[in-house]
Amino acid sequence: VVFGSALGLLAFYGFLGFNLRTTAYEILPELSQWALCVAKGFDLPVSYRQISNPHVRAVSSLELVEGDMLKADLSGARIVMLTSQCWDKPLIQMVQRKLSNELVPG
């Protein structure tokens, strides 16, 4: 899982370099759309959805999600990468609470 995936580069790296099932969350629609264009430009098998539509499920091991990472389902996550260094203190605290509550140790 990548929080703050921007153009998707870390998601692509995890998927291609380590063969990891990767879900990337980006709240800015423009960046999400660009990430999708990049993935399609390289013929990557990518699924795309908006987090506001939880009924759409990934059909690929690489999923790009447009929406708020705080609404992400982390129940199956084994690795979570936080990529933004411009988050304010309240957001950092919300992410910390989310990770503490939802991730399983190990």
For residues 22 and 15, is the Cβ–Cβ distance under 8 A? yes
* DSSP percent split of the chain into helix, strand, coil, nearest 5: 40, 20, 45
pTM of the model: 0.90
d(CA 62, CA 24): 8
Q: What is the pLDDT of residue 58?
A: 64
Whether residue 6 has pLDDT greater than 70: yes
Task: Name residue 65's amino acid.
Answer: V
The per-residue pLDDT for range 46-69, each reduced to its tens digit, is 999 988 776 666 668 999 999 999
Alpha helices per DSSP H over 27-88 = 29-41
The per-residue pLDDT for range 7-31, each reduced to its tens digit, is 999 999 999 999 999 999 999 999 9
Overall average pLDDT of the 74-79 stretch:
90
Overall average pLDDT of the 81-87 stretch:
85
pLDDT category at 79 given cuts 50, 70, 90 is very high
